[in-house]
């Protein structure tokens, strides 16, 4: 039976470290500041934004929310980002996705100053991640690495398989595993022999967005299985991309949903905000 990796406990350790760093920065007269922009009234986005604001308050990070109506124009949104780019008490900018139809998310991401891009979505930061010379790491993949480290799961030399090739999780996840000397395979909807490839993985990361997609016959006995998915099963109950009940019988380590990768994403966002506050001497 697999050891369950407790994302809540690991996230609490990261938050405690962040709270200490925030307190130290405040002694130097710097209060890390995060601006969260939400456009429209998507319920899931609203929940995420509320959770991020609450997390900021818990560790002492100053946060501002900019809630814009769904009818907001591209120009209005770009103007707000431009203002936040030069706002001295704001060190990190986060524009909650998805944006309403008609707004160009790519243009908005590219408009955020790379030094304030705490999501690490700006092409400049993406390029830095590729070459290994980065300021920020995308929150979810960085959280996955922290979870593996928390259980002393060795990445170097291991066969690592990532299912999913999104810009937010799949691709940067593969790069972080590679930077940690893993041998990495990225699988996606066009991959042939998916089951065989997955069965060769010592570390399997599922980020495909399909409920219970990874079944026990796809997992090598003793593998570490990280579930990035946040789905609903046939009964409307929250679940991941991994068939947890059956996969835990063959894996050595596994993350639950909820309570696995999810708490780490916000914890790493807080860490990125502190990193941004430390580095922004150009604002002074």
Close Cβ partners of 217 (under 8 Å, ≥ 6 residues apart) = 195, 199
Quick count: other Cβ atoms within 10 Å of Cβ 8?
14
Active site residue: 115, 117, 119, 241, which one?
119
Q: What does each C-alpha distance from 230 to 29, 30, 72 come to in angstroms?
A: 39, 36, 29
DSSP reduced 3-state for 225: strand
Query: Is 199 labelled as part of a ligand binding site?
Result: no
Q: What does each C-alpha distance from 6 to 20, 106, 184, 219 come to in angstroms?
A: 22, 34, 25, 20
Query: Is 149 labelled as part of a ligand binding site?
Result: no
Query: Is 252 labelled as part of a ligand binding site?
Result: no
Contact predicate 218/187, CB 8 Å: no
Q: How far apart are CA 176 and CA 178, in angstroms?
A: 5
Quick count: other Cβ atoms within 10 Å of Cβ 159?
16
Active site includes 280?
Answer: no
Contact predicate 228/241, CB 8 Å: yes
Active site includes 119?
Answer: yes
Active site includes 271?
Answer: no
Q: How far apart are CA 208 and CA 263, in angstroms?
A: 19
Number of helices and strands in the chain (H, E) = 10, 11
Active site residue: 96, 115, 117, 280, which one?
96
Q: How far apart are CA 77 and CA 81, in angstroms?
A: 6
Residue 52: enclosing H or E segment and its boundaries? helix 43-59
The annotated binding site is made up of 164-166
The annotated binding site for NADP(+) is made up of 164-166
Q: Which residues are catalytic?
A: 52, 96, 119
């Amino acid at each position: 039976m697999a050891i369950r990796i407790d994302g809540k406990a690991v996230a609490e350790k990261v938050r405690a470290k962040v709270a200490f760093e925030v307190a130290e920065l405040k002694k130097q007269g710097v209060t890390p500041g995060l601006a969260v922009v939400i456009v429209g009234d998507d319920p899931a986005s609203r929940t995420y934004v509320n959770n991020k604001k609450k997390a900021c308050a818990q560790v002492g990070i100053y946060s501002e929310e900019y809630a814009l109506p769904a009818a907001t124009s591209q120009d209005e949104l770009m103007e707000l980002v431009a203002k936040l780019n030069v706002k001295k008490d704001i060190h990190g900018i986060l524009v909650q996705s998805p944006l309403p139809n008609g707004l160009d998310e790519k243009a908005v991401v590219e408009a955020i100053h790379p030094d304030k891009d705490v999501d690490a979505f700006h092409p400049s930061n993406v390029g830095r991640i590729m070459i290994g010379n980065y300021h920020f790491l995308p929150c979810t993949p960085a959280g996955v690495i922290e979870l593996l480290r928390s259980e002393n799961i060795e990445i170097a030399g291991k066969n690592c398989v990532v299912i999913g090739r999104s810009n937010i999780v799949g691709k940067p996840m593969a790069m972080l595993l590679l930077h940690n000397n893993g041998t990495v395979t990225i699988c996606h909807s066009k991959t042939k022999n998916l089951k065989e490839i997955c069965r060769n993985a010592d570390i399997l990361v599922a980020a495909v967005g399909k409920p219970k997609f990874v079944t026990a016959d796809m997992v090598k006995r003793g593998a570490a299985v990280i579930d990035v998915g946040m789905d609903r099963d046939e009964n409307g109950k929250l679940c991941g991309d991994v068939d947890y009940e059956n996969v835990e019988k063959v894996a050595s380590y596994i993350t639950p949903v909820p309570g696995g990768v999810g708490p780490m994403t916000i914890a790493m966002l807080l860490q990125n905000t502190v990193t941004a506050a430390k580095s922004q001497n150009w604002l002074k």
